[in-house]
Homo-oligomer: A and B are copies of this chain.
Amino acid sequence: MTSPLRFCVRRSAAGAGTAVTIVTLSIPSDIACIEEAVALVIRHCLAGDESRERLRFRLQVALSEALANAIVRGNREDRTKQVNVRAELAPEQIRLHVTDEGAGFDPRRVPEPLGPDRILGGDGRGLFLIRRLVDAVEFNDQGNSICMILLRR
């Protein structure tokens, strides 16, 4: 069944600096169209929430990098070893724990990947991005468990 809804989204710069997105939708007078129309408009209304989209991205970086480190560096891709994730979701903040079964490491010994010698390297940017994009990072003593804290606003 093809959708009978005519739909259009446009971003307009209204006044100085504040961009307003305009969504328009034209539907025939059929109550069978209501559910789809409502879902479509709501999706666009909520997508406009910039701070949420930025939080989504910061979560993506934090989780992707920590999981990759746990799997590749910690567990050395040994499929019999597990990685455990624990997320504590509170109204104001999110705490993400990622724990592997590896030997751990000393995070203070990891150099910044920005120097002229390092910038041409193929790795070493994961922890750096985590530190830049989350609000706080902690490790356990062994170094096989990272805790990343993100404030929701």
Whether the Cβ atoms of A42 and B60 lie closer than 8 Å is yes
CA distance A14 to B89 in the complex (A): 11
Whether the Cβ atoms of B22 and A88 lie closer than 8 Å is yes
Interface of A is mostly: mixed
Whether the Cβ atoms of A25 and B84 lie closer than 8 Å is yes
Whether the Cβ atoms of B60 and A56 lie closer than 8 Å is no
CA distance A63 to B43 in the complex (A): 12
Whether the Cβ atoms of B87 and A23 lie closer than 8 Å is yes
Partner of A71, one of B20, B31, B56, B64: B31
User: Is A123's CB within 8 Å of the partner chain B?
Assistant: no
Contacts of A135 in B (CB 8 A): none
Partner of A89, one of B23, B52, B89, B152: B23
Q: How far is the CB of A150 from chain B (nearest CB, A)?
A: 8
Q: Which of A16-56 contact B (CB under 8 A)?
A: 18, 20-31, 33-34, 37-38, 41-42, 44-46, 48-50, 52, 55-56
Contacts of A18 in B (CB 8 A): 90-91
Looking at chain A, what size class is its interface with the partner chain?
35 or more
Contacts of A91 in B (CB 8 A): 18, 48, 50
Partner of A59, one of B42, B63, B78, B152: B42
Contacts of A27 in B (CB 8 A): 67, 82-83, 85
What are the 7 closest A-B residue pairs judged by CB atoms, nearest first?
A: A29-B75, A48-B89, A25-B85, A23-B87, A21-B89, A38-B63, A29-B71
